[in-house]
Structure 1
Amino acid sequence: MKQILFVAAEGLPYVKSGGLADVIGSLPKALQHQGAEVRVIIPLYLQIAKKHRKEFKFVVEYTVNINYQEVPVRVYQGEHQGITYYFVEHQGYFERGVLYGYDDDGERFAYFQKAVLELLNQLDYFPDILHCHDWHTGMIPVMCKENYQNDKRYHNIYHVYTIHNLAYQGNFSRDMLDSCLGLDMSLYDNGNVRFDTGISFMKSGIVYADQVTTVSPNYAQEILTSEYGEHLEHVLQMRAHNLTGIVNGIDTDEWNPKDDKFIPCHYNKVSVFKCKSENKLALQKELGLKQDKDIFLLGLVTRLTDQKGLNLVLEQMKWMIEANMQVVILGSGDGYIEDEFRAVEAGNKGKFVFYCGYNEILAHQIYAASDGFLMPSRFEPCGISQLISLRYGTLPLVRETGGLKDTVIPYNEFTGEGTGFSFANFSGWEMMECIHRALYVYYEKPKAFRQLMRQAMNVDVSWEVSAKEYMQLYNQK
């Protein structure tokens, strides 16, 4: 049985700021179904401590050297759905208002990574696979291979490193190499960890891991180019023979319209047409939209950033409001986008709703009630929302980039094939053309639209296929 340790900065069901948490919350379960034994390590953040610390078991206390001082580490253990979780406690570093975005993030996550490597020694637990995720864990393969090269227990570990979003790289001062990571400055001088005049946690993980993965096949190809490579394309090109794109899945137990506890009318592929109308009416009533089961409802559940294409939405808002549809947006992010959406809602009551923030119950209701789900991303490594939309028979309207291109088949009016609608270029005009195409099929070809809904719900969006691909990768050790 393969022993696999996941190391990440966040993970459901304990804490979430983005799609990384969804993966950490669901992929380990799928891997265990494939016969692996999986454990997970994340920091003990304030929101986890408040809610769960009393139920966790204290495991061990030790120290790691940060800024030439011995800093205490306390580790707790919990279990969820058969997965063992370890939580690294440091109140000063992790019990703060939000997860990231602090001036000392480099020091915080250097501490976390050092704590993880020493925990293996403390527990006498040395997994076959150490699977690290995103920049917060990128120095683990480096420290393991450079600082423990004479220790066979560490030397035998196989390192897999997953890029969830290349845009966030963990770039810090080179002084951290010695002061926080305990690594020799020669690694900066020879270029192994150097990025511009500093160091990059993301680059380091790419260089030192045995296998590098990212979260969709198309994104794996995109990041080899200057357009999407975020100035790391040349490094990725050197590792191209060890770079694999494996598309994400979703937790199909949590996201299941047959028994979703948050939606008023449960449904399957047979009852989707009737029940989606009932869910739509219920959501319209709750949010103050004009109640009309026949109008096209377009949903968005997203971070409000330009990366997600919200600038295109704002650019085309006049035409979206004039179109024969209602729009509901759930999310938070850039302040100017939030302010613009509030203003649009104020002038278009009954047709446009903006809920600022995140509401899990409302998210489920939007997926279940909407006819279309808009994702006009500038880039999208994989995307989770389009997978949930497919599961709920809500047709994704997506830009053909990253995982969106891998997972949504555009409607072909001649063959009837498709699971959604798409557009190629990052253009507001093309986005509106895509929306109008969906509206045309919805109103003028209702049978074709219903067939697309069935086809969407037939797509396997579970982790089963992807988990098998990961197991094949792990077995290369």
Structure 2
Amino acid sequence: MSKKSVLFVASEGLPFIKTGGLADVIGSLPKELVKQGMDVRVVLPLYLKIAVNNHADFDYVSSFDVRAGDIQSMANVYQQVVDGVTFYFIEHRDYFERKDLYGYDDDAMRFGFFQHATCRLLEALHYFPDVIHTHDWHTAAIPFLCRTFYSYREEFRTIKHVFTIHNLAFQGIFNKQALWSALGMDYSYYVDGIARFHDDCISFMKLGILYADKVTTVSETYAQEILTEEFGEHMEHVLELRRHDLFGIVNGIDYDTWNSQTDDHLVQPYSLETIQQKKANKLALQAQFGLAQDEHVMLVGIVSRLTWQKGFYLLTEVLNQLLQAHVQFVILGNGETDIENAFHYFKHAHPDKFAFYQGYNEPLAHQIYAASDLFLMPSMFEPCGISQLISMHYGTLPLVRETGGLRDTVPPYNIVTKEGCGFSFWGKDAYNMKQVYDLALDTYYNRPEDWQQLIRQAMTADVSWTASAKRYIDLYNEITY
């Protein structure tokens, strides 16, 4: 029996390009699926950064016309195999070789082209996978196109589709003209309501939700949350139609990339058995930022986009109080100006206790995960979250708000039974967060045996892709029986 074939189509993916958690999934889930016996390929746009860094290593695959609506263009395709996964890159210099990945006025045309080019690529290769697995709005129209625009070929009609929502807040909403100009489809799909979303608009994501065989999100709790008005982003009624085909499958992390025993970015590798060596990373990070070198102080780490969604307004409200205790903070990230300004203020007001690196730095991220004692993620909503999985795997206890994937992956400390892998709070205000933070502080200084027990439980928790990849395989098998 031949291997089941799955084509992932996404707007970003490691090891080539990343702006968020989607890229981590595309870089690690296909790799795990290959290990579990599947034929997996990935299609990505060939962005400027990829062209600069990787183009010389690619093999040429094919060139073909892409004609749909106002798109009359040529696509060149290249490929490279990484960890058993074949990556295809669709080149269109005008559309993709730009400074940023998203946020342009012609995003509908750019990703309309990308989706049509992906379908044309299948024709060019004579490769029609059992399943196309699309991700977020940038690729969400592919199930719709296969069943309408490309339905003249039986091969397109028989492909099954899984569509994954990584963040419902971004839905690919465009003026209704994009139905024709970017997708090449007539307005009947707007008039009958299938593509229509809000006044005079269409939503790429809505098409994915309606036309995929199965819809998944990146945690079980988020799959339930998005059916509510609070988290549904005005899409809850559409999702309700697919309730019985909606599943939450939590993300994992790539143990090859995230491994405290082999991580090249660390001053001192360590394992659960050699956990005492972890503190060498703390001392090195303190020295790097000019903080007081003290292996006993509780070091709180943050690696994040600094936005309202990530809950950092809660932190800025109470940070003055938190810094009165014997603690240190190291923060890596950038985002909303008010939060950045607040962190710059605390950096200057408490230079011995508070460090802030504005921007992103991959080696530093690894060092913060390893050096910290507590990792803070007070997100307002979090479809899955990967940082809490990394911090647990590195023996750094996460403090999270109970939402989405954070609720599913961080069992909270129970002071009676000693169970848990971190700390969590429920409310949406700084008071709730501070109460649980104070519990963590008290546990760290006054119940060190409990703290070490939590570290053991966090580091032995399975946060790999193994189990989740098996659930995806079960889903693929279910729809391709």
TM-score, shorter chain, exceeding 0.5: yes
SS of residue matched to 2:451: helix
What's the CA shift string for 1:38-76, capped at 9, x where partnerless? Answer: 000000000000011111011111121255352111111
Q: Could you tell me how far 1:439 is from its partner in structure 2?
A: 0.5
SS of residue matched to 1:404: helix
What corresponds to 1:245 in structure 2? Answer: 248
Task: Give me the whole-angstrom Cα distance separating, in 2, the residues matched to 1:239 and 1:2.
Answer: 25
1:361 counterpart letter in structure 2: P
Alpha carbons 1:60, 1:74 under 8 Å: kept: yes
Q: In the alignment, which of 205, 208, 216 is matched to residue 208 of structure 2?
A: 205
Q: Give matches, 1:438-449, under 5 Å.
A: 438-449=440-451
Q: Could you tell me how far 1:298 is from its partner in structure 2?
A: 0.4
Task: Give me the whole-angstrom Cα distance separating, in 1, the residues matched to 2:76 and 2:428.
Answer: 47
Alpha carbons 1:276, 1:370 under 8 Å: kept: no
Q: In the alignment, which of 251, 258, 268 is matched to residue 271 of structure 2?
A: 268
Alpha carbons 2:71, 2:181 under 8 Å: kept: no
What corresponds to 2:86 in structure 1? Answer: 84
Q: In the alignment, which of 313, 320, 324 is matched to residue 318 of structure 1?
A: 320
Task: Give me the whole-angstrom Cα distance separating, in 1, the residues matched to 2:261 and 2:463.
Answer: 15
What corresponds to 1:129 in structure 2? Answer: 131
Task: Give me the whole-angstrom Cα distance separating, in 1, the residues matched to 2:100 and 2:352.
Answer: 34
Q: Give matches, 1:197-236, under 5 Å.
A: 197=199, 198-236=201-239
What corresponds to 1:419 in structure 2? Answer: 421
Task: Give me the whole-angstrom Cα distance separating, in 1, the residues matched to 2:74 and 2:433.
Answer: 52
1:388 counterpart letter in structure 2: I
What corresponds to 2:260 in structure 1? Answer: 257
What's the CA shift string for 1:184-219, capped at 9, x where partnerless? Answer: 211111111110121001111001100000000010
Q: Could you tell me how far 1:287 is from its partner in structure 2?
A: 1.3
SS of residue matched to 1:195: coil
What corresponds to 2:150 in structure 1? Answer: 148
1:118 counterpart letter in structure 2: R
What corresponds to 2:25 in structure 1? Answer: 23
Alpha carbons 1:56, 1:78 under 8 Å: kept: yes
Q: Could you tell me how far 1:92 is from its partner in structure 2?
A: 0.8
Alpha carbons 2:109, 2:181 under 8 Å: kept: no
Task: Give me the whole-angstrom Cα distance separating, in 1, the residues matched to 2:251 and 2:326.
Answer: 34
Q: Give matches, 1:48-197, under 5 Å.
A: 48-65=50-67, 68-197=70-199
What's the CA shift string for 1:246-280, capped at 9, x where partnerless? Answer: 000000111001111110111111211x1121111
Q: Could you tell me how far 1:20 is from its partner in structure 2?
A: 0.1
1:178 counterpart letter in structure 2: W
Moved more, 319-328 or 278-287: 319-328
Alpha carbons 2:70, 2:184 under 8 Å: kept: no
Alpha carbons 1:65, 1:180 under 8 Å: kept: no
Q: In the alignment, which of 379, 387, 397 is matched to residue 377 of structure 1?
A: 379
1:439 counterpart letter in structure 2: L
What's the CA shift string for 1:276-317, capped at 9, x where partnerless? Answer: 211111110011111000000000000011000011111112
- RMSD value, Cα: 0.9
Q: Give matches, 1:245-394, under 5 Å.
A: 245-272=248-275, 274-394=276-396
Moved more, 37-46 or 176-185: 176-185
Task: Give me the whole-angstrom Cα distance separating, in 1, the residues matched to 2:145 and 2:136.
Answer: 16
2:429 counterpart letter in structure 1: S
Task: Give me the whole-angstrom Cα distance separating, in 2, the residues matched to 1:42 and 1:229.
Answer: 28
Q: In the alignment, which of 426, 429, 432 is matched to residue 430 of structure 1?
A: 432
2:463 counterpart letter in structure 1: V
What's the CA shift string for 1:64-106, capped at 9, x where partnerless? Answer: 1255352111111111111110001111111111111111111
Q: Could you tell me how far 1:178 is from its partner in structure 2?
A: 1.2
Task: Give me the whole-angstrom Cα distance separating, in 2, the residues matched to 1:435 and 1:256.
Answer: 27
Task: Give me the whole-angstrom Cα distance separating, in 1, the residues matched to 2:20 and 2:134.
Answer: 16
2:4 aligned with 1:2: yes
SS of residue matched to 2:60: strand
1:461 counterpart letter in structure 2: V
Q: Could you tell me how far 1:433 is from its partner in structure 2?
A: 1.0
Task: Give me the whole-angstrom Cα distance separating, in 1, the residues matched to 2:305 and 2:341.
Answer: 14
Q: Could you tell me how far 1:333 is from its partner in structure 2?
A: 1.2
Task: Give me the whole-angstrom Cα distance separating, in 2, the residues matched to 1:204 and 1:69.
Answer: 20
2:386 counterpart letter in structure 1: I
2:139 counterpart letter in structure 1: T
1:348 counterpart letter in structure 2: H
Q: In the alignment, which of 408, 411, 414 is matched to residue 410 of structure 2?
A: 408
Q: Could you tell me how far 1:343 is from its partner in structure 2?
A: 1.7
SS of residue matched to 2:138: helix
Task: Give me the whole-angstrom Cα distance separating, in 2, the residues matched to 1:138 and 1:67.
Answer: 18
Unaligned 5+ runs, structure 1: none
Task: Give me the whole-angstrom Cα distance separating, in 2, the residues matched to 1:323 and 1:224.
Answer: 41
1:340 counterpart letter in structure 2: A
SS of residue matched to 2:461: coil
Closer, same or farther: CA 366–429 of 1 in aligned 2, 3 Å? same
SS of residue matched to 1:241: helix
2:40 counterpart letter in structure 1: V
